Structures are given as C-alpha cells and as structure tokens.
Amino acid sequence: MFNGMDLTGWKLRNPAGHQSWSVEPDGVLKNTVEKGGPHGTDLMTDEKFWNFTARYEYMTPDGSNSGFYLRGRQEIQILGDHKSGVLTKGCNGAIYNFKAPDKFVTKPGGEWQTAEVTIIGHRITVTLNGVKIHDSILCNQPTGGQLDDKMDVPGPILLQGDHGTVSFRNIRIKELPKE
C-alpha cells in the first residue's frame, strides 16, 4: 500500500492543505506538525476498500495525536498516551469516540507500535502490539472526522495528519472477500 519511496497512490484530503507529509530515506512515511505551526492535512489512498486486513507500524512522540481511518469513516485512534495508562474512547487503540480498547497496551513515545486491523462488513477487530484489543466489534456508524457518512460503500485508508507528528512504516493491506 505504501511503497516506502514516495507518495504514489496517496493524495491529500484537501489538495490546498498544508503538505506536512514526507518520505524519509529509510522508507518511513512521516507527518510533521510543529506546535504553534500550521495544521497538517490528512493523507488518503486513491484506492477504495471494503473488507480487508491492514497491518502497519506507527510511532508518535508523547502527547501526539493521529488516526488510521478504515474506509475513511471509522478511526482507530493513534495517541502518544503511554504515561496515562487510562482506557477511554479516545485513547491509543480506541475505535475513536465509539469504544475503548479492552486492554491498555500502548508503548512509550518514540517506540514503534504494531497494529493489525480487520474490518468485515461493519465488524472491526484490532490487535495492537500483539494483544487483541477489539474482537469483532459492530460499528456501523462513522466515528468523527470522517470523509462522508456512506457506511455501505468502499472507502479509502485515511491517515490523520491535522493534529500531530506521527510516523508510519510497513503499511500493508490484504483485501478479503465481500460477504
């Protein structure tokens, strides 16, 4: 999905938005948002998906905020909140604004975290850092910040870029059969 060299297959959600995304020489996709500076812009795939498993690694500094959107509508929260250790609908790994993770498994800021997210129909399963934190959760509504409210059509992967610094690597997707 991300080739590790450039942004081929990806575009800014708002083409006129501030370009805060870059590809590092080591194949890392990085969104840099400085405190007090301009907000970044979300990045999304050209391709749209329905049922799939996405695997990705991400790293944030402490306190940074981002998200990985399924079909551009349901956000898996990315938050540098290791120091808090508190489970909420907005903590790292949450289905944002919908369901807190079953366990708090966030790593400290500056460490790579691994996520595997599967969505089939409107059911979401998430494994974070090797621990299943959501198991086939029915989520048939957008969770905030979505592209649109069309819950029954394919949509892109969207990486939230307007809140904070985040790095991604090894972003992969496997499409699954439509039910």
Domain count, the chain: 1
Residue 51 is predicted with a pLDDT of: 98
Q: Is residue 150 part of a domain?
A: yes
What is the reported pTM?
0.96
Q: Which domain holds residue 60?
A: 10-175
CA distance 100 to 125: 13
Domain CATH for 53 = 2.60.120.560
Q: Is residue 2 part of a domain?
A: no
Note the pLDDT tens digit of each residue in 117-127. Answer: 999 999 999 99
Q: Is residue 33 part of a domain?
A: yes
Q: Is residue 3 part of a domain?
A: no
Nearest 10 degrees: Cα torsion 11, 170, 90, 47: 30
Note the pLDDT tens digit of each residue in 29-81. Answer: 999 988 777 788 999 999 999 999 999 999 999 999 999 999 999 999 999 99
Residue 131 is predicted with a pLDDT of: 98
Q: Using alpha carbons, select from 141, 174, 126, 9 the residue that is nearest to residue 21.
A: 9
Q: Which residues lie closer than 8 Å to 146 by C-beta, 6 or more apart?
A: 69, 72, 73, 74, 75
Q: Is residue 4 part of a domain?
A: no
Note the pLDDT tens digit of each residue in 127-152. Answer: 999 999 999 999 999 999 999 999 99
Residue 156 is predicted with a pLDDT of: 98
| Mean pLDDT confidence for 98-112 | 97
Q: Is residue 5 part of a domain?
A: no
Q: Is residue 168 part of a domain?
A: yes
In percent, the amount of the chain with pLDDT more than 90 equals 91
Q: How confident is the model at residue 175 (pLDDT cuts 50, 70, 90)?
A: very high
